[in-house]
Chain A
Amino acid sequence: MATASPTTAPDALQPAGAPATSLPDLTLIQRLVLNLRAARARAYVRVVATGRELSWLAFEVVLPILSAAAYVFIYEALGAPPRYTGFVLLGTAMTAYWMNVLWSMASQFYWEKQSGTLEIYFLAPASRVALLLGMASGGIFMSTSRAASTLIAGSLLFGVRYEVASWPLAILAFVLTLAALYCLGMLFSSVFLMYGREAWHMASALQEPVYLLSGFYFPVRALGFWAAMGASLIPLTLGLDAMRQLMFGAPDAAFLPVGWELLGLAVLTVVYFLLALRSLAAMERLAKREGRLTLKWQ
């Protein structure tokens, strides 16, 4: 019944499913080039797209500074040491990355599914990880411009004094924080792939509590040791604490010694990356099985 007509039935000499022409394996270099091109394009698009909507850059710098100002005034009124102004400002600047990871990284696949571009990704040979890394690097670039603007404007406005213990270590702490954070974002994005709507609610619910848990506006030690340990699952917690110790010569910020915090961040990076890889593969398989990779009405 449901087979080809006799007129053009497959030739018996041609074994069913025999390869039309051979398709050699991609070499390591070819695979690298493919994925770098994909990542670069994805990053480029993010940068260009954000650059074309510069109007809200001002908005995203002014608003954080306003919220930082509230904390700065409280600390001043309470007679806290001046370095607390720096703590607050640094935390405020880093919110740019958290927002970026939640709303432009984790939720991106969900978003792409809604707008119909997800199937274009999943149809192509580039790896999903490459696309996510591209998204991440574009996002880091844009968020850094926001964070830096906040930091510079705030430093001038509030007269923040820096006492950098070690530039290389401070930079290392920053880089490790971002690495771990964006790997966590990648892990989240796999969850969004499958559970879009539910995950969206989760992200909304996570946004504000993390400001508290990760100590964006105060040294995380204030939470108490065990709460701070729990909060350390979010890389910003350890990252902020380490950077505060390294940039403001502040012993009272220390939750853990800097060395341990850097190690913790490195471990988080590796763990989240590996989990993200596994989760992406698993969620893709599940989504394909349940028919959730694309919208039904397309």
Chain B
Amino acid sequence: MSAPLSIDVQHVSRQFVTKKGQTFWALRDVSLQVHEGELFGLLGPNGAGKTTLIKILSTLLLPTSGQVRVAGFDVVREADRVRRVINMVSGGEHSGYGILTVRESLWLFSQFHGLPSKVALARIDELLEVVGLAEHAHTRVNKLSTGMRQKMNFVRGFLNDPRVLFLDEPTLGLDVETSRILRSYVKRWVKEKPGRTILLTTHYMAEADELCDRLAIIEGGRILACDTPNNLKRTMQDEVVLRMEVYPSLTEPQRLAQLPGVLRLVPDRGQNGHQVLTWGLKDDGVIGTVIQALQQDGVRILRLEKADPTLEDVFMRMVGRRLTDGNGQSNHSA
């Protein structure tokens, strides 16, 4: 399989100068290739550099160094051409002119791509139907809830039928049901339309897992790994992932993390307030050691499972901390 390259990022770095005059690298020597027809994910925590990369790809920001091609065109020298074949939506975006209706706003944006009004309006109506916003077509934008605005912006991304679509955290903060609708549309769109490509960023690992053909894990402006979700999870095969719910909470997890055969211990707060411990162990033999150590500390194990590794585990192993901070709840229904 060798579809043509749709996104080609070669050694891209991007520096920012902070208010205090210090320099700061938001991207460091990033290279990645995405093929036509792929749904590619950038998975990383807040501040990893995802949005910075998307802005460079969508001609809104210049790279400090490196080369970027989108649909075969250089984003710096041929930005005009790139703009004819892309679109971009960011999930955190609540923009729009409050005084216009949903349908009018979308029509306005479609005109910046030169679509004939008839084509644009037909597409708008169809897409509003898909995302369940049809009954609000004539509602003014300032009367919409945040989630509805986000859906409207999502629709905007598809109006010009782009060859390459950038979605920057498209389901950020959305409820489970809405996220599900948007995700299934994204999946369907890229599969049904020939020659289309989507690059999507997210910090929800389940979303990346479900949607993406391949994904890159990004942290601190660097790409740490790039592969299919299954291959990434397969890198965990040499270890045992053990998840348990305990009570009372472990007070000194660092100490238990030093046990022989324990590769990693990440404590977290579970849904019902009990502590959840995720262990990375060298092999099954270590399970006994762990249970014994907990008993000695007077910690009761309420639930215990040998878990299939998730992308979260992959991330924890690479970075040494969780992908989502603290209570970061994904909007992904199990």
Residues of A within 8 A of B (CB): 1-5, 7-11, 13-14, 16-21, 23, 26, 30, 33-35, 37-38, 40-42, 44-45, 48-49, 52-53, 115-117, 119-126, 131, 285, 288-291, 293-294, 298
Task: Give the residue name and chain of the A residue nearest to B112 (CB).
Answer: A124
Query: A23 to B226, Cβ gap below 8 A?
Result: no
Query: A4 to B33, Cβ gap below 8 A?
Result: yes
Query: Which of B86-94, B176-184, B298-306, B318-326 lies at the interface with chain A?
Result: B86-94
Query: Which of B54-62, B252-260, B278-286 lies at the interface with chain A?
Result: B54-62
Query: A41 to B5, Cβ gap below 8 A?
Result: no
Query: A37 to B5, Cβ gap below 8 A?
Result: no
**Chain A: minimal CB distance from B329 (Å):** 21
Q: In the assembly, what is the distance between CA of A34 and CA of B160, in Å?
A: 12
Cβ-neighbour of A122 out of B51, B60, B93, B113 (below 8 A): B60
Chain B residues, CB < 8 A from A293: 60-61
Query: B88 to A41, Cβ gap below 8 A?
Result: no
B2 within 8 A of A: yes
Cβ-neighbour of B99 out of A23, A53, A116 (below 8 A): A53
Chain A residues, CB < 8 A from B36: 20
In the complex with contacts A3-B32, A115-B95, A20-B71 CB distance below 8 A: yes
Cβ-neighbour of B114 out of A4, A9, A10, A34 (below 8 A): A34
Query: B93 to A2, Cβ gap below 8 A?
Result: no
Cβ-neighbour of A116 out of B85, B94, B115 (below 8 A): B94
Cβ-neighbour of B73 out of A11, A23, A120 (below 8 A): A23
Q: Point out which of A30, A289, A298 has the most chain B C-beta atoms below 10 A from its C-beta.
A: A298
0/1 string, B190-212, CB within 8 A of A gives 1: 00000100000000000000000
B80 within 8 A of A: yes
Chain B residues, CB < 8 A from A124: 83, 109, 112-113, 160
Q: In the assembly, what is the distance between CA of A115 and CA of B73, in Å?
A: 30
Q: In the assembly, what is the distance between CA of A146 and CA of B117, in Å?
A: 30
Cβ-neighbour of B90 out of A4, A9, A125, A298 (below 8 A): A298
Task: Give the residue name and chain of the B residue nearest to A23 (CB).
Answer: B81
Query: Which of B100-108, B240-248, B261-269 lies at the interface with chain A?
Result: B100-108
Cβ-neighbour of A4 out of B84, B163, B226 (below 8 A): B226
Q: In the assembly, what is the distance between CA of A26 and CA of B83, in Å?
A: 13
Query: A5 to B231, Cβ gap below 8 A?
Result: yes
B123 within 8 A of A: no
Task: Give the residue name and chain of the A residue nearest to B107 (CB).
Answer: A41
Task: Give the residue name and chain of the A residue nearest to B74 (CB).
Answer: A17
Q: In the assembly, what is the distance between CA of A65 and CA of B245, in Å?
A: 75
Query: A45 to B100, Cβ gap below 8 A?
Result: yes
Query: A23 to B84, Cβ gap below 8 A?
Result: yes
Query: A122 to B59, Cβ gap below 8 A?
Result: yes
Q: In the assembly, what is the distance between CA of A10 and CA of B86, in Å?
A: 22
Chain A residues, CB < 8 A from B87: 123
Q: In the assembly, what is the distance between CA of A18 and CA of B3, in Å?
A: 11
B223 within 8 A of A: yes
**Chain A: minimal CB distance from B197 (Å):** 9
Closest 6 CB pairs of A and B: A19-B72, A116-B95, A34-B114, A41-B111, A11-B2, A124-B112
Which positions 206-237 of chain B face chain A at CB distance < 8 Å?
214, 222-223, 225-228, 231
Chain A residues, CB < 8 A from B29: 2
Query: B8 to A16, Cβ gap below 8 A?
Result: yes
Task: Give the residue name and chain of the B residue nearest to A44 (CB).
Answer: B108
Query: A294 to B112, Cβ gap below 8 A?
Result: no
Chain B residues, CB < 8 A from A288: 59-62
**Chain A: minimal CB distance from B162 (Å):** 10
Which positions 1-32 of chain B face chain A at CB distance < 8 Å?
1-2, 4-6, 8, 10, 16-17, 29-32
Query: B109 to A120, Cβ gap below 8 A?
Result: yes
B69 within 8 A of A: yes
Query: B111 to A37, Cβ gap below 8 A?
Result: yes
Q: In the assembly, what is the distance between CA of A285 and CA of B214, in Å?
A: 33
Chain A residues, CB < 8 A from B226: 2-5
Chain B residues, CB < 8 A from A52: 99
B147 within 8 A of A: no
Q: In the assembly, what is the distance between CA of A3 and CA of B108, in Å?
A: 39
Q: Point out which of B84, B87, B95 has the most chain A C-beta atoms below 10 A from its C-beta.
A: B95
Query: B114 to A37, Cβ gap below 8 A?
Result: yes
Chain A residues, CB < 8 A from B59: 122-123, 288
**Chain A: minimal CB distance from B49 (Å):** 12
Cβ-neighbour of A125 out of B84, B163, B227 (below 8 A): B84
B151 within 8 A of A: no
In the complex with contacts A17-B72, A23-B81, A48-B104, A117-B163 CB distance below 8 A: no
B185 within 8 A of A: no
Task: Give the residue name and chain of the B residue nearest to A16 (CB).
Answer: B8
Q: List 15 A-B contacts (CB under 8 A).
A: A10-B35, A16-B8, A16-B69, A18-B5, A18-B72, A20-B4, A20-B195, A21-B4, A45-B104, A48-B99, A49-B100, A120-B109, A288-B60, A290-B17, A294-B61
Chain B residues, CB < 8 A from A37: 111, 114-115, 117
A5-B231, A14-B5 are known; give 16 further A-B pairs, CB within 8 A. Answer: A3-B33, A5-B214, A13-B2, A18-B5, A18-B72, A23-B73, A23-B81, A37-B117, A48-B104, A49-B99, A117-B95, A123-B59, A125-B80, A125-B114, A126-B112, A298-B93
